[in-house]
Amino acid sequence: MTRCFKSLAIAASLLTLALTGCGKTTALSPSQLAEQNKPGTLIIQTVHKAEFSVPDYDLNEGKMAQLAQALGKKVASGEYTSDQQVIVAIIQAVLADPLAYFTPISTRVQEQAEISTTGSALAVTEDGYLVTNAHVVSSEQDDIKALLADSALEEVAVSSCKSLWNDFSDGGYQEAIGALMGTQEFVQLCLQAHAKYFAHYMSLDALDTKIYAAMGATARDQIVEKGHKATVKAIGEPAPGKDVAILKIEATHMPTVALGDDKALAAGDRMFILGYPGAGVIDEQEAVEASLTAGLVSARKTMADGWDILQTDAAMSSGNSGGPVFNEAGEAIGIATFAKVDPSTGSQVQGANFVIPMGVVNEFLTQANVEPAPSGVSQLYQTAVTQFERGQYKRALASFRQVSELNPSYPYVQGYLSKTQTALNQDAKGAVSLGSIVAGGLVVTLLGAGGAVVGLRRGMVKLSKLNVH
C-alpha cells in the first residue's frame, strides 16, 4: 500500500502543477533548464582492457632508393643546394608516410593496457534506458587500435623516436634538423608517424570493454566505483554514420529528460547543450556536474547517406558527446555529436559543431523497443524546483522529501532539501510573530471575505477587504 500512496502523492503534486499552469510548454530560463535536466544527464565512461602486440620495423630499402633518386634530381636541378636541405627532405618524406617506408619484421612488442573514454548521455525511461553516441561506447577494433596507438603505445613511440634521434648524432643530421626543421617539429612528426604505424599493424589479442554510467556530480576517477554498469541495446556507426547508441542500466525511479521534436527548429533558434565536457575538468578527483552552453541553430544539413544533421555555434568539446541538446522549452531535440576539425592544424573549427536530431535518435529507440516516457519522480522534482524558485518553501520541502523517499540517490535533491530548510529557517527568523504584534498594541481579527477590524489601544478602525493567501 505504501507504494500506492506514494504514486498518489506524485499524481496529486503533478495535478497541482498542471492546474496552476506550470505544466505548459513555455520557454525556460537557462538556469531553469539546467536545474530541471541535470539529474537526467549522465556521465559515461567506457573502459577497455586490451592485450595487444605490434611488430618492430626496418626501413624499406626499395622505397629509400626511390626517394634518393628523386632527391638527386632536385639537387641536379638546383632546387636543393645544401646537404642539410636533402637530410631534412629525407626525414620529412619518411615520417609523412610511415606505412610506405616502415617495413614490419617478425620481432613484436607485446603490451597490456587499460584505456578509457568519457562522454555524456540522457535518460529516457525511469527504468534505465539511456541515449548516447555510438563512438562513446564503441568497441570496434579500428577505434580501439587508434586509442591504443595514441595513448598506451606512447612510451614505445617516444623510445623509438629517441633511438632515431641518437642515430642522427653522426653525419650532420641533428644539425640539419636544428637549423631547418626544429627539434620540436621533428619529435611531433616522429610520434605521429609511429602512432599511424602502430594503429595499422597492431593486433588485438584480447579485449574486454565495460561501460559505466553515473548520475549527478561525480569525480571522473570514481565513475566506475559509483556508476551503474551499462549494456548496449542498439548501436549505429560513429560519425559520419548515425552516431547513436541505446544503453540500459538497472534502475528504478530514475530521473529522465523530456524529449521533443526537432522538426520545428530553424536557423536562428536558440539551443542549449548539457553535458560533461572534458575541457572543464581541472582535477580527476574533482566532482564535476553537467555544465550548460548556449548558441543558435546555424543550419540543417544533409549527410552523405541522406539524413539530416543540425549545425550549431553552441560550444561543445570532448566529453559533451552523447549529451542532450535542448530547445527553449527544455525538451531534448538531439544529442551533441562532433565538431569539425581543421585538418591542417588539428584544432576545432569555431561554430562548426553538430547535433544528431531526435528524429534519428528515435530510429534507434524503436530498434531497441524503447518507449521514452518522463518519470513521475522527475516531474515531481521539477515541480519542487519550480516551487523553490517561487519562494514556496513549505511546498518545495514536501515535494523534495517525496523525491528523496522514492529515490534517495536522486541527484541534487539532498542539496535542495538543505537549501529549502535553510530558507524556511530564515523566513521564520524574519517573520514578525503574532505575539510581538499583540505586545505592540495591535490585534487583527479576520472577518472572512468581508474585511478586517484592526483593534488599537485607542479606538477601532474598519479596513477594506484583506486578501488572505
The predicted-structure confidence for 82-94, as pLDDT tens digits, reads as follows 999 999 999 999 9
- Residue 349 phi/psi, 5° resolution? -80, 125
Mean pLDDT along residues 382-409 = 94
Average per-residue pLDDT for the chain: 84
Q: What is the percent of the chain with per-residue pLDDT over 70, rounded to a whole number?
A: 82
Whole-Å CA distances, 136 to 147, 182, 341: 12, 37, 18
Q: Which residue has the cell 471575505?
A: 449
Read off the amino acid at residue 367.
Answer: Q
Mean pLDDT of 158-167: 89
Residue 65, amino acid:
A
Highest-pLDDT range among 132-136, 285-289, 452-456: 132-136
Name the nearest CA neighbour of 301 among 293, 292, 312, 309.
309
435, 427 Cβ separation under 8 angstroms: no
Cβ-contact 264, 333 below 8 angstroms: no
Q: Residue 141 — very low, low, confident or very high, per pLDDT cuts 50/70/90?
A: confident
Strand-pairing partners, residue 211, are 46, 230
State CA 103 to chain mean position distance: 40
Domain ranges (residues) in the chain:
47-118+135-209, 376-430, 434-463
Q: pLDDT category, 19, cuts 50, 70, 90?
A: very low
**pTM given for the model:** 0.75
Residue 343 pLDDT > 60, yes or no?
no
